Amino acid sequence: MCRWAAYIGTPIFIEELMFDPCHSLIKQCKQAEECKTAINADGFGLAWYLEKAEPGLYRDVYPAWSDPNLKSVATQIRSGLFLAHVRASTGSAISRNNCHPFAVENWSFMHNGQMGGFESFRKKADMLISDELYQFRKGATDSEVLFLLAMGNGLRGNPKQALIRAVYELQHMSAVYGAGPAMRLSAAFSDGNTLYAVRYASDNHAPSLYYRRNSSGSGWEVVSEPLDLHKDDWKEVQNGELCCFNQNEVLIEEFSVE
Amino acid sequence: MCRWAAYIGTPIFIEELMFDPCHSLIKQCKQAEECKTAINADGFGLAWYLEKAEPGLYRDVYPAWSDPNLKSVATQIRSGLFLAHVRASTGSAISRNNCHPFAVENWSFMHNGQMGGFESFRKKADMLISDELYQFRKGATDSEVLFLLAMGNGLRGNPKQALIRAVYELQHMSAVYGAGPAMRLSAAFSDGNTLYAVRYASDNHAPSLYYRRNSSGSGWEVVSEPLDLHKDDWKEVQNGELCCFNQNEVLIEEFSVE
Amino acid sequence: MCRWAAYIGTPIFIEELMFDPCHSLIKQCKQAEECKTAINADGFGLAWYLEKAEPGLYRDVYPAWSDPNLKSVATQIRSGLFLAHVRASTGSAISRNNCHPFAVENWSFMHNGQMGGFESFRKKADMLISDELYQFRKGATDSEVLFLLAMGNGLRGNPKQALIRAVYELQHMSAVYGAGPAMRLSAAFSDGNTLYAVRYASDNHAPSLYYRRNSSGSGWEVVSEPLDLHKDDWKEVQNGELCCFNQNEVLIEEFSVE
Amino acid sequence: MCRWAAYIGTPIFIEELMFDPCHSLIKQCKQAEECKTAINADGFGLAWYLEKAEPGLYRDVYPAWSDPNLKSVATQIRSGLFLAHVRASTGSAISRNNCHPFAVENWSFMHNGQMGGFESFRKKADMLISDELYQFRKGATDSEVLFLLAMGNGLRGNPKQALIRAVYELQHMSAVYGAGPAMRLSAAFSDGNTLYAVRYASDNHAPSLYYRRNSSGSGWEVVSEPLDLHKDDWKEVQNGELCCFNQNEVLIEEFSVE
């Protein structure tokens, strides 16, 4: 499994979300509370939006807690929209291209979850990636495939439908060729304007997902698990919900995969 | 491009081939002479056979000249069959899984060359990999695909025919979907008993390949470029030749791709 | 803190100690039982003796559990004397030169413990290193200093006295310039013939240290914590004891620091 | 040797200096023209000033040309004052703490040059570092020592005198304990407001140093070698000169070491 955290709102220093809270993403590297794996030390990544359409992307294979470069980038960069992730590998190699977030053009995507028996149908999954997008298939994770399938399905035009279809395709493959549970996911993605977060599982065990308006009121914090343990201001996203955050509002829609 | 060197014979310390000669593979990282790229600093790798059927495999993304771990391994390990490679990327990412040699079971494979416009048909190439072998497709190089196609074509049973067929398949793809030159390669591979080396190009420009009986007479040195510059005891392999080395003999066969 | 394991005896594959046991050193990276830090993922290292006087040395900054290079080296190399270590940093940077074991000529050394307030007197400690040995001071750990001071004190001639004196020097510095507890250590070191292990603390809390004759009877396993949990064949070394192992025997001496 | 480039002026994207020019710092990794080493692939580093007093610092051990993280950071961050460096080691290990720039509080420092026979007097040099600053001595380079000695000599109060004294101390040590040439350097450093650059050698062979007002007129480019080859608008700094740049002006002073 993995842990992640994202922010949209008035620009803040990335460290304010990633490092400073008492149960920050960095703490969750060693002691995640609502995750199958307490330890998430198989790499990390950061995607942040500033002036350009494409996000910056910084990913590496070390545990996030000890990387001075990450600390420096997070301490210095103020951004109004960013995605941060710490990884626990579910089988694929420890390499930068297997770390999240993934980025294509102005889109970024990160994921926590599993697709049962993925390695058994990875080839079939890879084959579903469109010819135009295959150049972006650089690693071997299920997460990267999910993202590229959603891009190919029209993430730019209709994010919800595009992702529903991608989830359906992979869930179906898992059911036929893989192993249960077919699909469990919480994911966050963005086009640089809106931050999306989704929680879904083919069974009853969707990975955790929460959000809240941050304490200063400057924006939304969207997280795998609360950055301060068990405080009442965190709202839990339900299994089968997609949240669309802009600077000030959130719209919650049903995310239903037949 | 890249540079490589291999050995088969009575066991020697790996450093005797990789580090010690005056124009060793390590020197060729900075100053290759017969290569498009003088600098080969996008990673390195070593596969060596000892007691087990599968080779040891040590690959990393640093320039080979400065890695103390590589020096230690090469200094300490005495092997009768090993493959060593230093990489100059032709486009795919710098990551361990894109470094050579590649290894599957008891087979190891390394490569220097190019398949014109590979990124244009990488998806088609990946799709040719058999279902059983797809689990070993971990990176994004043309080299890894060539190896896995050859494995799927029966490298174990008939190495020459298996590789000819794999080269043909990719050369054809390059001609149809890619860009010229379609195929230029020098490669070395082994099952742990025999060392194979091949030189081939679809045009007249096959990457260089040489071999000789080493100075102590203990075995064969098979190299991209001579480890001591322009000495007469190096024999040049011709375009369209496959060499099969065992401890004491070499058999040279025609390697003809229609 | 850190965890370590060492072996001396008839040559075995390094993996038999480092990877295979049910509570192997690799498992202790994530779940150490007798250690202040359950997680030891700030790097690892291996020193092994084969044909040469100097050991091979392989150290890197990744968590040991996910490094395929380490797995390969441990799987392939059979050695009759080796030291393996996984690190949890007590303050100094994550870098190869701060990983254990350290090696100078034919000596290797690894350590688990602390010297209270070391960063306060690091300069003074560095100044104690002899001029001849300062070239080997490459990092910033207390462990490396302890080793180099012992070397300078005559580790080659009288290991026990040399180390006692080095421990005394640093313990005294900690008492005067640092902070309590002044000195807690378990360490293993070797000249390529004998394996030494010592357990000592200036208070009552010496880091754990055990040894046993391995199940096949081929040699001694000397460890921070038992490789199978709480089995009766592990003997605990007491605070203030130095063990000297050769292939078949162990001599235990008092290790007393005034 | 090494190569470096710095900027002060109206904020620009870091890539505009580091990546875009036809003979950018990235190109100089493989093909430096005015340097003993054409190849500078033993790591890189970037220090940049934004909102905080301390600079951001991003250093790594890979060749700069292939690191996607560096590309991302340089592409995304707009800064009015930054220092960038690519390294060719003169002996010390390849590690992040041996890469430039170095940073202490609001000061950053990078260097190209040599102090003859440094390893022979590294201990003496380390011992000159003040007790208060020794915590910042993390690596083993001559460059880091020079910086820390200058800091200790009052870089904050009188940069020129502080650095002159540090250069004198180390040059003297080299003359007595090391080997010729005693001191050759070009260096750049900053407190976050002013950019300093100095060129000096104890003989006639000071490493190259140039500067110019950039083409848009937004600020000063200060470099080891011109970013476009041999264009007339680059002014060469003389041996024994210290330049002090602010946003719009440059003051050149004599840098005389007795």
Residue C230 pLDDT grade (very low, low, confident, very high; cuts 50, 70, 90): low
Mean predicted lDDT score pLDDT of chain D:
95
CB contact under 8 A, B137 and A140: yes
Terminal alpha carbon distance of chain C: 25
Cβ-based contacts of B47 with chain C (< 8 Å):
none
C53 touching A, CB under 8 A? no
| Chain A, chain D: beta-carbon pairs less than 8 Å apart | 52
pLDDT digits (tens, 9 = 90+) for C149-194: 999 999 999 999 999 999 999 999 999 999 989 899 999 999 999 9
The predicted structure's pLDDT at residue C122: 97
The predicted structure's pLDDT at residue A230: 62
Average pLDDT over residues C114-118: 94
- % of chain C with per-residue pLDDT over 90: 88
pLDDT digits (tens, 9 = 90+) for B155-204: 999 999 999 999 999 999 999 999 989 899 999 999 999 999 999 999 98
Average pLDDT over residues B107-118: 95
Question: Residue C229 pLDDT > 80, yes or no?
Answer: no
Q: Give the residues across from C13 on adjacent strands.
A: C78
Cβ-based contacts of B76 with chain C (< 8 Å):
48, 50-52, 55-56, 77
Please name the member of D93, D122, D138 whose beta carbon is closest to the beta carbon of C93: D138
D155 vs chain C: nearest CA distance in angstroms?
21
A131 vs chain B: nearest CA distance in angstroms?
7
List Cα–Cα distances, B11 to A37, B18, B100, B106, C54, in angstroms: 45, 14, 22, 18, 20
**Inter-residue long-range contacts of A211-214, CB under 8 Å, 24+ positions, other chains counted:** A211/A235, A211/A237, A211/A243, A211/A245, A211/A250, A214/A7, A214/A9
CB contact under 8 A, A61 and C61: no
Question: Residue C231 pLDDT > 80, yes or no?
Answer: no
Neighbours of chain A (3+ CB pairs under 8 A): B, C, D
Please name the member of A97, A131, A134 whose beta carbon is closest to the beta carbon of B95: A97
Phi, psi of D74 (to 5 degrees): -65, -30
Q: Give the residues across from A86 on adjacent strands.
A: A3, A44
C59 → chain B, closest CA residue: B69
The predicted structure's pLDDT at residue D258: 76
Task: Supply C21's token pair.
Answer: 């046991």
CB contact under 8 A, B96 and A95: yes
A69 touching C, CB under 8 A? no
Q: Give the residues across from D86 on adjacent strands.
A: D3, D44
Spatial separation of the C-alpha atoms in residues A73 and B232, rounded to whole Å: 55
CB contact under 8 A, A123 and B129: yes
Best of C94, C95, C96, C98 to substitute, by most chain A Cβ atoms within 10 angstroms, is C94
Give the distance, in angstroms, between the CA of residue D235 and the centroid of all CA atoms in the same chain.
18
B26 vs chain D: nearest CA distance in angstroms?
14
Gyration radius of chain D's alpha carbons: 17
A76 touching D, CB under 8 A? yes
A93 → chain B, closest CA residue: B138
Average pLDDT over residues B199-223: 95
Residue D220 pLDDT grade (very low, low, confident, very high; cuts 50, 70, 90): very high
Interface of A with B in 182-221 (CB under 8 A): none
Please name the member of C63, C68, C93 whose beta carbon is closest to the beta carbon of A63: C63
- % of chain A with per-residue pLDDT over 70: 100
B75 → chain C, closest CA residue: C56
The predicted structure's pLDDT at residue C33: 84
Question: Residue C35 pLDDT > 90, yes or no?
Answer: no
Please name the member of A50, A59, A73 whose beta carbon is closest to the beta carbon of D58: A73
3-state secondary structure chain A: CEEEEEEEEEEEECHHHHCCCCCCHHHHHHHCCCCCCCCCCCCEEEEEECCCCCCEEEEECCCHHHCHHHHHHHHHCEEEEEEEEEECCCCCCCCHHHCCCEEECCEEEEEEEEECCHHHHHHHHHHHCCCCCHHHCCCCCHHHHHHHHHHHCCCCCCHHHHHHHHHHHHHHHHHHHCCCCCEEEEEEEECCCCEEEEEEECCCCCCCCEEEECCCCCEEEEECCCCCCCCCCCEECCCCEEEEECCCCEEEEECCCC
Cβ-based contacts of C41 with chain A (< 8 Å):
39, 41, 63
* Whether A196 contacts A224, CB under 8 Å: no
Best of A28, A30, A37 to substitute, by most chain C Cβ atoms within 10 angstroms, is A30
pLDDT digits (tens, 9 = 90+) for A3-60: 999 999 999 999 999 999 999 999 999 888 887 788 999 999 999 999 999 999 999 9
Mean predicted lDDT score pLDDT of chain B:
95
B66 touching C, CB under 8 A? no
A33 touching B, CB under 8 A? no
The predicted structure's pLDDT at residue D218: 94
B93 → chain A, closest CA residue: A138
Fill in the amino acid letter for A235. K
C73 touching B, CB under 8 A? yes
Instruction: Show the low-confidence residues of chain A (pLDDT under 50).
Output: none
Question: How many C-beta atoms lie closer than 10 Å to residue D217's C-beta?
Answer: 9
Please name the member of C48, C55, C69 whose beta carbon is closest to the beta carbon of B58: C69
CB contact under 8 A, D78 and A52: no
For the entire predicted model, the pTM comes to: 0.95
Question: Residue D178 pLDDT > 80, yes or no?
Answer: yes
Residues 6+ apart with CB under 8 A from A17: A5, A7, A24, A25, A82, A84, A221, A227
Cβ-based contacts of D69 with chain A (< 8 Å):
57-60, 69, 96
Terminal alpha carbon distance of chain A: 25
Average pLDDT over residues B37-50: 94
C138 vs chain D: nearest CA distance in angstroms?
6
Average pLDDT over residues D209-223: 95
Mean predicted lDDT score pLDDT of chain C:
95
Phi, psi of D105 (to 5 degrees): 55, -125
Cβ-based contacts of D60 with chain B (< 8 Å):
none
Neighbours of chain D (3+ CB pairs under 8 A): A, B, C
B90 → chain D, closest CA residue: D66
Residue B230 pLDDT grade (very low, low, confident, very high; cuts 50, 70, 90): low
A140 touching B, CB under 8 A? yes
Task: Supply D43's token pair.
Answer: 């790591």
pLDDT digits (tens, 9 = 90+) for D40-90: 999 999 999 999 999 999 999 999 998 999 999 999 999 999 999 999 987
Instruction: Note the ipTM here.
Output: 0.94
Best of D57, D132, D134, D173 to substitute, by most chain C Cβ atoms within 10 angstroms, is D134
Interface of C with D in 117-136 (CB under 8 A): 119, 122-123, 126-127, 129, 131, 134-135
